């Protein structure tokens, strides 16, 4: 029997015999010295002029600053499914795509890099007020193949080794203070999902020639992602005709739910965009939400996104958003409205929430949403993409929501991969509400 290693998610040392981490609840893996090739994105974050800060504040205060900064940065990395590889003394190295493979490792790393910079800004405010010095980070990202695994038989832990690691560190060294610099390999992987600067030619250590780098400017939500012109949709005439027919029935008051199932890259999102454009051309409102692999453990995440779209509270301040919601549901129970506002993230911080258990909260919110849906007279299209990554609470609420759709002027489009068999799968819904004979 091999010894259990520290949690690869949060680094907490395990209790003897424990199967799950006391710190984050993740399964505790047994130590495996086997090294393997992995496609990853490596992140390096480093404090600018750390030696000058150390001289100004002293070693004890520097330790406090770095402890706070590293804790915050590690939480961001873990939120996006990355692994903190090591503390470098004045920064961190993190890996996305090892030990657990991630198909979207580059996008996750970009989101994490921006999140790390946001956390650094919060720490910098306190440092400036207390110590009178400026704290800023540089971040570098590079993607490619590395060798990942345990180093020897000692207590060195899991790490990634290879040329790609060194390139990430060199890109960090030339990144602007407060900025994120991407290599050509990372930029290619995220070009349709991120906003990038024009390429810059960079002089980096170890290279005789300048190399291209891109500054990361932002990662928009997927419904506003960066895309180029799309070609005509080919080979989907039958599917489009079928969905168009269901859309017409929905407009006439006979709602329907359409599931679009397929492997990655087969064209699910493209089909959804075509149907959405078709609906918009008919004057039908389209409300969209999507699931992401790093949000599967966040309760209400997807249903909250969808409801923020349907209520139109995005961009409004709290008071205006609450007024809008209450105008849309004038007959709703006041306690239910408080729960609903909390779900949308617009709750009044001065007003306490009803003290009810989580299951009762879900039932009351579901009833409110369904009654509002049944009362709606204008036709609508609801899009929920990638539900193979949906959080459990949203899945339960949306399954109940789909049951009333046939009584509404609506069309719901749900996309997922073939391995999904949850509550939003038509077979699962039928077996739940109309049990099949044994």
Q: What domains are defined for the chain?
A: 36-220 (3.30.70.1230), 237-314+365-433 (3.40.50.300)
Q: What is residue 136's predicted lDDT score, i.e. its pLDDT?
A: 94
Measuring CA to CA, how many Å separate 414 from each of 232, 259, 290, 391, 400? Answer: 22, 5, 10, 15, 14
pLDDT at 2: 40
Angle between helices 105-131 and 59-79 (to 10 degrees): 150
Write down the pLDDT at residue 139: 96
Q: What is the pLDDT of residues 99-147, one digit of tens each?
A: 888 878 999 999 999 999 999 999 999 999 999 999 999 999 999 988 8
Separation between Cα atoms, residue 290 and residue 385, nearest integer Å: 5
**Which residues of the chain register pLDDT less than 70?**
1-33, 151-157, 222-236, 427-438
**Predicted TM-score (pTM) of this structure:** 0.62
Measure the CA–CA gap between 161 and 381, rounded to whole angstroms.
Answer: 48
* E strand or H helix at 140: strand 137-150
């Amino acid at each position: 029997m091999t010894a259990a290693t520290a949690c690869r998610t949060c680094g907490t040392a395990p209790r003897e015999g424990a199967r799950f981490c006391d710190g984050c609840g993740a399964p505790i893996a047994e130590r495996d010295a086997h090294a393997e090739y992995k496609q990853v994105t490596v992140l390096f974050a480093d404090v600018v002029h750390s030696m000058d800060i150390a001289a100004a504040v002293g070693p004890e205060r520097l330790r406090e600053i770095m402890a706070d900064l590293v804790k915050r940065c590690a939480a961001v990395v873990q939120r996006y499914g990355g692994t903190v590889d090591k503390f470098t003394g004045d920064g961190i190295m993190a890996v996305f795509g090892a030990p657990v493979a991630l198909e979207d490792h580059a996008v996750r790393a970009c989101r994490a890099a921006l999140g790390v910079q946001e956390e650094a800004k919060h720490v910098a405010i306190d440092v400036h007020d207390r110590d009178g010095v400026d704290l800023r980070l540089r971040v570098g990202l590079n993607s490619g193949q590395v060798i990942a695994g345990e180093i020897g038989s000692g207590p060195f832990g899991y790490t990634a080794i290879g040329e790609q690691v060194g390139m990430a560190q060199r890109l960090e060294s030339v990144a602007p203070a407060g900025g994120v610099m991407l290599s050509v390999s990372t930029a290619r992987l995220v070009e349709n999902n991120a906003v990038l600067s024009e390429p810059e030619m960079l002089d980096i250590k170890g290279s005789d020639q300048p190399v291209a780098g891109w500054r990361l400017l932002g990662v928009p939500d997927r419904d506003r992602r960066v895309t180029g012109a799309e070609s005509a949709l080919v080979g989907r005439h039958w599917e489009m005709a079928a969905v168009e027919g269901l859309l017409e029935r929905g407009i006439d008051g006979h709602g329907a739910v359409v599931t679009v199932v397929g492997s990655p890259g087969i064209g699910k999102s493209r089909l959804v965009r075509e149907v959405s454009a078709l609906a918009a051309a008919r004057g039908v409102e389209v409300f969209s939400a999507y699931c992401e692999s790093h949000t599967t453990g966040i309760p209400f995440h997807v249903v909250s996104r969808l409801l923020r779209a349907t209520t139109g509270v995005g961009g409004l301040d709290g008071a205006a958003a609450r007024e809008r919601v209450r105008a849309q549901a004038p007959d709703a129970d006041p306690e239910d409205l408080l729960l609903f506002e909390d779900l949308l993230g617009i709750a009044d911080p001065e007003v306490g929430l009803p003290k009810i258990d989580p299951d009762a909260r879900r039932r009351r919110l579901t009833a409110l949403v369904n009654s509002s849906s049944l009362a709606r007279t204008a036709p609508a299209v609801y899009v929920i993409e990638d539900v193979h990554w949906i959080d459990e609470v949203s899945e339960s609420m949306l399954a109940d929501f789909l049951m009333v759709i046939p009584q509404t002027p609506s069309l719901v489009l749900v996309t997922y991969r073939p391995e999904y068999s949850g509550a939003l799968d038509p077979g699962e819904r039928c077996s739940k509400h109309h049990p099949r004979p044994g």
